[in-house]
Structure 1
Amino acid sequence: MTAVASYLGLSQTELQDQMQSGKSLADAAQAQGKSVSGLEDAMVAAFKTNLDAANTLTPDQRAAAVAEMKSRIDTMVNTAHSPGEGMGAAFGAGMGMHTGTGTGTGTGTGTRTGSGMETTRR
């Protein structure tokens, strides 16, 4: 969430408050006068940086993780969450939303390496 908040010019708390009030990331971007495509680019860039820093994946696994993220990013950005639902680490290397079991580059629900994109607020 750090990269998202930074792109939007918000603190993490301000972004979390917007998400908790039922806004999607796209709503937050539009409210800040930012483009949704720019937001998606910032999210992908942060995800790639985190994957590169993890050093636990092969180049093919990294490429597959990025492709998977790109295939789901519109849903991630446009989905509004009900209060209390939050966002967390169900997407590969620690980025995404709690939507079932998530996806990952390993087995199960993915690896949790923390991309600065994850925040869980309870």
Structure 2
Amino acid sequence: MRTPNGPRFTPREPPGTDLARYVSERISVDPYRYRGRFTVQAPADVIAARMAPTMAVVEAVGDDVSVLSTGSNSLDELAMWVAQLGVPFQVHEPPELIEHIHALGARLLDAARQVTGE
């Protein structure tokens, strides 16, 4: 057997019991300016099928309720990601996203009114 002669490292304990979740959070939430956390009214497996582990962490909190954590450098992108799921949701963070969604919703309603002539 050959003994490695390169740099050594000190093994450490894993950072938790759910290593897949740990890695997913480090990729999909932590590196971004904004970290979004939402309660969505849908089963976790349905949401997880629509959001890859590199995009979000999905946690079941009930049969038909999930918590979605994701990150982005854009409030618009956070708003659109959660809206495109097509299910009711509640924003928990970041706080500035709530006001941003109000403004985005008003712009979308104005655009729809221009098309329909209301």
Q: Which TM-score band (shorter chain)?
A: under 0.3
TM-score by length of 1: 0.25
